[in-house]
Amino acid sequence: MTVPSHLQYTAQHEWVALEGDIATVGITEYAAEALGDVVYVDLPDVGASVTAGNTCGEVESTKSVSDLFAPVEGEVVEINQGLVDDSSAVNLAPYEAGWLFRVRVSGIPDLLSADEYSSLISGS
């Protein structure tokens, strides 16, 4: 199970890559594997405000529908339009082509380090 050390994580299995005031958000490999084949993503609209910890979309798989939670606060500035047409990248490359949306950050809650997230998913 890959948990890249340069990212930050939430207990709801989202990852965050911060570059300046822009956060790129996706779901972790652990979440993608648990969901099974992702068949649809419902992403927030560009321009929408998101609040850390609140639902901002959904990820639908062959097994279930899961809420997508905003890991940071701010304004959505971009969505991964490619996933709207073909959501398979969420499973194939969750940390690269499978990113979900980008937010201009106005607030960052405490996020988990890679080590903390690894401990969470390993149950220790």
Q: Is residue 58 part of a domain?
A: yes
Residue 37 lies in a domain: yes
Residue 111 lies in a domain: no
Q: What is the reported pLDDT for 121?
A: 96
Q: Is the pLDDT of residue 1 over 90?
A: no
- C-alpha distances (whole Å) from 119 to each of 3, 15, 35, 66 are 11, 15, 20, 22
- Domain of residue 39, residue span: 8-106
In a domain, 93, yes or no: yes
Query: What is the pTM assigned to this prediction?
Result: 0.94
Q: Which domain CATH number covers 27?
A: 2.40.50.100
Identify whether 19 is part of a domain.
yes
Q: Considering the domain boundaries, does residue 118 fall inside one?
A: no
89: nearest Cα among 6, 27, 42: 27
How many structural domains are present in the chain? 1
Please check the confidence at residue 124 and state whether its pLDDT lies above 80: no
Burial class from Cβ neighbours inside 10 Å (0-12, 13-18, 19+) for residue 35 reads buried
Domain-located, residue 72:
yes
